[in-house]
Amino acid sequence: MLGAEPEIVANHVLAGQVKLVYWPMLDLGPNSENAAAAAFCAGEQDPALFWAVHHALFEDQRSVYLAQRDYFIDTAVAQGADGQAFEACYDGDEMRTLLAELDATRRDAGVTQRPTFDLNGQRILGSQPYETFAEVIAIQLP
């Protein structure tokens, strides 16, 4: 999600109202998993790097479709990840296993549409303007 995210972060995350969680969906072939692995492996070094790579990949989404291994490594390193540690994670099985487990969990939860947003159990389907999120957040706040 990038569309409404800046406003959600500025108005609700930084205000302590919302905790934003990214949950990967792996529906579109090997690069769905490779891109998620890139972000998660960067996050393994520092959670802030997860979000940096997450944003970099979404901002360059056209390239991600056909990207090769070097693209993901270069993207992570450009955001500040240690290349050697990143490659070990990216090429290993541990993160791939985690991603498969997370993907299976969201399937079991009945999440099938990309993207889907869950706010304390209330779901929003598809990309929506900031105002839609703001309405639901306002309802959810104590």
Q: Give the separation between CA 90 and CA 33, rounded to whole angstroms.
A: 10
Question: Whose Cβ is closer to other proteins: residue 27's or residue 83's?
Answer: 27
Would you state the torsion angle of the CA atoms of residues 22, 110, 18, 58, taken in this order, to the nearest 10 degrees? Answer: 30
Binders of other proteins among residues 37 to 66 (CB under 8 A) are 39-40, 43-44, 46-48, 50-51, 54, 57-58, 61, 64-65
Q: What are the backbone angles phi and psi of residue 95, rounded to the nearest 5°?
A: -70, -35
Does position 119 bind other proteins by CB under 8 A? yes
Question: Whose Cβ is closer to other proteins: residue 77's or residue 102's?
Answer: 102
* Of 9, 38, 56, residue with least CA distance to 99: 38
Q: How far is CA 34 from the centre of its chain?
A: 12
Residue identified by tokens 């090997």 is 30
Binds other proteins by CB under 8 A, chosen from 6, 7, 11, 13: 13
SS3 for 110?
Answer: coil
Question: Whose Cβ is closer to other proteins: residue 18's or residue 81's?
Answer: 18
Residue 116 is given by DSSP the state: E
Least separation in angstroms between CB 100 and other proteins: 10
| Total interface residues for other proteins by CB under 8 A | 64
Does position 71 bind other proteins by CB under 8 A? no
Q: Are 56 and 81 in contact (CB under 8 A)?
A: no
Q: Which residues bind other proteins (CB under 8 A)?
A: 1, 5, 8-9, 12-14, 16-29, 31-32, 35-36, 39-40, 43-44, 46-48, 50-51, 54, 57-58, 61, 64-65, 94-95, 97-98, 101-102, 105-106, 108-109, 111, 114-121, 133, 137, 140-142
